[in-house]
Structure formats: C-alpha cells, structure tokens
Structure 1
Amino acid sequence: MPVRDHSVPAEVLDRREGRYGEVVLRRRGELLEIIANGCFLMDTHDGRSERLLMDAALERLTADAPAVLIGGLGVGFSLAHAAAEPRWGRIAVAEREGAIIDWHRAGPLAAISAAALADRRVVLLHTDLVAYLAGTGDRYDALCLDIDNGPDWTVDEANDALYGPAGLAAARACLNPGGILAVWSAQPSAAFEQALRTAGFTEVQTTEIPVGRGVPDVVHLGRRP
C-alpha cells in the first residue's frame, strides 16, 4: 500500500468552492487526499475500512442480489470493492460534491473507480444524502455510510441530523425489512449504539478495524426488523 508520510509536502491538485463549502484534492507523495472545509476526510493510503464496511453489511444479508446505497463516494474504495463483488445487485452511490464526482470521472481518482463506474449495476446520485433519505421512495437492503469521520465527528454540521432521531428514522425507512445499516466511524460511540436501538434497529453491534496506533476505527451495525 502507498506510504503515508506527513513530512512530504502536499500539492494541491484542485480546489473548489461549492454549495457546501471548500473541497480540496491534494497529492502527498504517492497518496491522494480529500480535504473538506479544512478537515481531512480521507486518503488513498489503505482501503481496509471501506472494504470492511461493505463486507460487514453483505455478510449479514441473505437476499439474492441485494441492493446497496453507499453514502459518500470519497476516494472510491467502497464503490470499487462493492463492484468487485458479484453478489451485490443494484449499487447506488450518493455524493453531494460535484468536484469529487469530477475527480472520479475525469481526474486522478479515476484510477480507483473507473471500472466500477462502468459497471451496469452502478448508479451515481449527485445528491445530498440527508435530503435524499428524507425524500426518496427507493428501498435498499443495505445502507453503508462513510461521509464523515463518524457520528461524533461530522465534516459538516448539517450532517449531524443524519445521526439523530430524524436521520436514523429516514435511514430505517429507506431499508427493506431485514436490511442493514452500516456506519463507519473513526472511533467507537456508545451513544450512537444507543441511538440505533432507540431508532428501532436490532442486532446492534460495533466491529473494530485495527489501526497502526491509537483508537481503532469501527463500523457500527444495526438491522431493520
């Protein structure tokens, strides 16, 4: 995997001011980084977290060709891993930042996502996930969220609603019965586990993702009964 070395200066490849603030694509050595409103969002160092996010949801499903909604395109690891799995049926990705979509369609991140975006199962939705969940009539068997650094560390204050009662109710309503909600987080959150239970999710659990040092990343999981 590419080496993460913060002593290497970062080169700004693109900087955009959009509806939701500033988003920046940087290159640091071998890595590409996405910065949103001055907050580090993710880079291309290691896709273990994204792969576990998708796998943790899929292994809990029994439906044939289950449909999945991925919240956040990011650097494309979640999408690429989902498209490499033939068991998934419809694969939708909600991404609100037009710049990130551009970087995947005709920019440096195409190296990760080009094959996935060409997959006939994949639909790319240029939309805000919070608004989409509140208004869509679409239903999925899995909802995999990786749009923030976790429920307790959102990139945009507007995303806080996603992890509260109204947002979790909308996420639950978007799932078919037996569907799985999987939420990536940079740290465990006992409060979010309780919020999932309060919102009516069952089989709530937290799966750890070992990291080199510090608190492990996690995936919070819950099932719609």
Structure 2
Amino acid sequence: MPSQKSTTTLRAESGQAKAPQRARGHARVAALLEAAGTEFADKGYDAATMTAIASRAGASIGSLYQFFPTKDRIAGALLESYLDILAETFHKLREAAPSLDVSLLASRLTRTFVKFRASHPAFAVLVETYSYALPRTMNIRESLRREIESVLAEVAPHLAPAEIAVRAAVIQQIMKAAVAVNGDTSIASRKAVMDELDGLMRHYLQDAIQRANLETPTSS
C-alpha cells in the first residue's frame, strides 16, 4: 500500500528522479488536495468520495490512490497544508507585530480566522465536524493557541509565560467569536459587531502591553 504523501512530504520514489518529474508530482498532489478541499467543503467528509475528488482534479482514480490510498489520508494531508498556511500567517504577523499600531494588530488578529476560513472552507468541515475520523484535529486548537502566544510575546515580552498562555487563550476566544459573528446572518449589523470585537481586542492588547511594561526589569 502506498504511503501518505503531501505537498510538504512528497519525495521522489527514486534518487534518480529528475527535477521535472518531481515538479509534476508536486503539481499533481497540489491539484488533488485542492479538489479534495472543494469536495469536502461542498459535501462534507462522509459524503465526499475518492472518485469525486479524482474527477474534480481531472485525474484517474489510480493516480489519486497512488498518492493517497484512503480518504482520511488525503483529509489529513489537506489539514497539514492548512496548518502550514496558518503557521506562515502567524509567522508574518509575529514579525510585523512590534512595528504595528495596536489598533492594526488587533484588527488583524480579530479577523485572521475569519479570512482563513473564507479562503479555505473545508478547514471548518474537517476540524469541527469530523474530528472523530481525524484524531490529529484534537491538537489543532492547542497549536493555534501557541501561535497566538508567540505573537503576544513579541509585543509584551516581559509578561510571565503563564500569563501569556492565559491571555492567548482569551485572544483565541475573541478570534473564534469573530468567526461566529461573521457567519451569523441573524445579526442586523455584523460590521458594527466586528468593530466592537476589534475594540475589545485592542483594549485587551493594550492592557497586556501596559502590564508587560510595568514588569520590565530595570537596571540597578
């Protein structure tokens, strides 16, 4: 049975494989993952089929099985690719955070999950609905919280690690609230509510920064 391969783990079967062959392999896997994302988003995990995924990718079912022998394998690889994208998003935010105005940083944090889910609708399907089939999803929230901790540590470096962990959990809940608000069509003015969440995030970040400044070591 072929082993799982993803965009980050795909390796040439032979050390003699030429670069164009490897490039074609990566492109084929990328196309399969994109097709799987569309299929999962449209039909959900249970109703999605390997045949439909192959068809969406314009590939044969044999080609799909060559890279992903089961549906949970391609779902797992898709989640890995989503996590890579999120990690890169937080990496860029972490690098920019010290130079950003607090209001802008707050707005970016509040909307990070909203924008990501809009661009990758299958993420919510796989994480929230079918975690029983994909055990690794149990660790995703914790991994994302650590990413938030790293951003907070950049703007409030003198906060104790325990306090950073607590505050990151609160920030994560505000970010999740933004996702809920964005998807709640019963709210008459979602923009106004999102602006309120921005303000809540801004005040919370300002409090963390001020607290960190109070705890800044002074030279004797």
TM-score normalized with structure 2 length? 0.30
TM-score normalized with structure 1 length? 0.30
> Who wins on radius of gyration, i.e. which is larger?
2
Which structure has the higher relative contact order (CA within 8 Å, separation 6+)?
2
Between structures 1 and 2, the one with greater helix share: 2
